[in-house]
Structure 1
């Protein structure tokens, strides 16, 4: 009878040690998995559930709304009234959202569509091709409006004019060459976003 208790005790200790080791391995495995999850991966999951976020940007401004598109290096947030902000990841200081969405976004990878791999240059070239008027917010907090005339690998040319005026030579007040790295957000009308 004493031997039975001794063996039961040893079995319980072994079981507890095995459970502790399994829990430690599971925790380490989760830490390793999370170390491979990128901001883009998490944003793709937030887009799938159309999560409402508040993005604080490098220019000191912020935008709020549902994530409607994510590319290789940018995200798009639908804004009220009927506009879309296209924001480079490099311009995001932080993202705020409900805790449930924050946890859901850590689940892993999503997406895989071609659109999810398009970079900011592709989006800006599309805006230039379609002659879409944009409001460009730049890093020091400067705001310029106009039409993208052309887009290179890491910059674009903007014909500066009022948003409510068509891009006509008489309406253009100047031209700017803007590096993508200086862009905090590009705001376009929701109907013109093409996302």
Structure 2
């Protein structure tokens, strides 16, 4: 017959049991608090920060006025991205992206971006103007303009059409610019 535990052994066993229950309850509360904090903080994650974490990934974008754009995300800037697709490149304004497929589950907050990634869409358009490549400017409303980017202003781009007409296009009207050469 096993000896009956003494009252102090019973008391310590009760304390151990209570301590285990308290620890389990604390862990449950802490896990719930962490989940709540995580959900509360997620509202600070931007589409640009998710795209920054997706550089190098193959993405499918649905872009207003354009439709489907597929390719590898090559570069991110503040408010725009460069997607290399089938024999063409796309400068896409991220404010015009409606749906992204294939993005990373992570994000890179803007404070962690290098100064090069903080360049706006005007920087990308200036590179097009410098190279004088043929391109198609896709408008938010669905129109397209065959063009060569000539000059870039602070809130607009100046293009020349195949008939050599000069036109000014406000950035807010542009969804994407597609290379042709």
Using the size of structure 1 for normalisation, the TM-score is 0.79
Question: Displacement of 1:6 after TM fit?
Answer: 2.3
Q: Answer with 1 or 2: which has the greater Rg.
A: 2
Q: How far apart are residue 9 of structure 1 and its match?
A: 2.5
Q: State the partner residue of 1:65.
A: 71
Q: Report the equivalent of 2:88.
A: 83
Q: What runs of 5+ residues in structure 2 fail to find an aligned partner?
A: 1-8
- What residue is the counterpart of 2:109 in the other structure? 109
The Cα shift of 1:5 comes to: 3.7
**1:12 and 1:71 mapped to 2: Cα distance?**
51
Find the counterpart in structure 2 of residue 35 from structure 1.
43
In the other structure, the counterpart of 1:94 is 99
Report Cα offsets for 1:81-127 as digits up to 9, x if no partner: x2110000111011011xxx542x24x43863332111011211222
SS at match of 2:127: helix
What residue in structure 1 maps to residue 152 of structure 2? 151
CA distance in 1, matches of 2:60, 2:142: 18
Which structure 2 residues correspond to residues 13-32 of structure 1 after superposition, within 5 A? 13-32=21-40
For the residue of structure 1 that corresponds to 2:129, the secondary structure is helix
Offset of residue 14 of structure 1: 0.5
Q: 1:149, 1:21 → 2: CA distance?
A: 61
> Structure 1's 60 and 143: CA in aligned 2 closer, same or farther, altered over 3 A?
closer
> How far apart, CA to CA, are the structure 2 residues paired with 1:94 and 1:43?
12
Residue 186 of structure 1: aligned partner = 177
Inter-partner Cα distance in structure 2 for 1:113 and 1:84: 22
- Give distance in 2, aligned partners of 1:115 and 1:62: 27
> How many angstroms apart in 2 are the aligned matches of 1:42 and 1:65?
16
2:127 paired with 1:136 = no
Please report how far the alpha carbon of residue 38 of structure 1 lies from its aligned counterpart in structure 2 after TM superposition: 1.9
